[in-house]
């Protein structure tokens, strides 16, 4: 079965889907995006993703050209048509098409593009068991990374540099020496006192969907939480560390080549991994069977 994409009201073969060369998303990075997880054929955490989508659009003054309900129907239809079981749905909304000019017509019709991609569950199971490493880089992004725009060049360059160094993720560090977030993740540590710490929401970081879920999970598990920035030195000296994104909760076992804790996924992190897996499974038609898949049983 051919892979399908959605472009401005049409379901098209992925290889033939396209937008105008004068689309402002292409020429100016004038647009936003969302990435949602698909678990056992279900789009999970739809409500918070839609809230963040609307907030990002509002920040750029872009009006959604259909109702939120209609957009969700299209998302589910694309998942169904692609017969996607486990993976992601990517959605990008740009300001639209117009002759190239920095200023824009406020009446442009936005361009909507959606694609789906299958991702093996085993990929995330292995990450949860073994952990990943991160490398730190000076913060070079614009001042509003809380808006989920497609302007991601600093993120791309940092992530590539991290991968070339043999690491999985890049952590940005601000001028004061505090970790802001990862190139495509939120950053967390567990201090030597056993407190869970992540940077407080602000214009400096993206309001991650999984970040919010982990805040609630920590409260449910009785884990002390501090929404407070931490330095690179504090991360290296921490008991545990991890990152969160649509890809899930991933233990961090080393920062800039320095092992975190004993160099393996920690107890608190693994509890939060399990809590997230349960959270995902509950949103599917067969939670018990889905949980077995997610935990590798």
| Residues forming the active site | 148
Instruction: Let me know: does 96 contact 65? Beta carbons within 8 Å.
Output: no
DSSP string, 103-125: S--TTPPPEEEEEEEE--HHHHH
- The Cα–Cα gap between 297 and 289 comes to 10
Instruction: Let me know: does 268 contact 274? Beta carbons within 8 Å.
Output: no
- The Cα–Cα gap between 106 and 130 comes to 49
- The Cα–Cα gap between 28 and 7 comes to 19
Alpha helix (H) residue ranges in 107-223: 121-130, 153-164, 209-221
Provide the terminal-to-terminal Cα distance of the chain, rounded to the nearest Å.
29
């Amino acid at each position: 079965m051919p892979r399908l994409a959605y472009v401005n009201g049409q379901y098209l073969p992925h290889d033939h889907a396209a937008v105008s060369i004068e689309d402002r998303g292409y020429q100016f990075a004038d647009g936003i995006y969302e990435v949602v997880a698909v678990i056992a054929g279900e789009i999970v955490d739809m409500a918070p993703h839609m809230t963040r989508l609307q907030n990002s659009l509002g920040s750029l003054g872009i009006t959604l050209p259909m109702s939120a309900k209609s957009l969700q129907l299209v998302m589910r239809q694309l998942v169904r048509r692609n017969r996607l079981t486990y993976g992601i749905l990517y959605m990008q909304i740009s300001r639209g098409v117009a002759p190239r000019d920095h200023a824009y017509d406020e009446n442009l019709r936005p361009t909507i593009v959606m694609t789906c991609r299958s991702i093996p569950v085993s990929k995330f199971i292995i990450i949860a068991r073994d952990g990943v490493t991160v490398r730190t880089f000076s913060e070079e992004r614009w001042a509003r990374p809380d808006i989920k725009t497609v302007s991601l060049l600093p993120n791309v360059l940092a992530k590539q540099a991290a991968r070339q160094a043999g690491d999985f993720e890049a952590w940005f560090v601000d001028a004061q020496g505090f970790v802001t977030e990862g190139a495509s993740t939120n950053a967390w540590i567990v201090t030597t006192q056993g407190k869970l710490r992540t940077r407080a929401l602000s214009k400096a970081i993206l309001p991650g969907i999984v970040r919010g879920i982990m805040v609630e999970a920590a409260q449910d598990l009785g884990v002390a939480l501090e929404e407070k920035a931490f330095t690179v030195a504090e991360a290296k000296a921490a008991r545990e560390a991890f990152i969160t994104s649509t890809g899930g909760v991933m233990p961090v076992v080393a920062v800039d080549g320095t092992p975190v804790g004993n160099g393996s996924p920690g107890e608190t992190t693994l509890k939060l991994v399990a809590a997230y897996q349960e959270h995902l499974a509950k949103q599917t038609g067969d939670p018990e069977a889905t949980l077995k898949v997610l935990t590798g049983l």
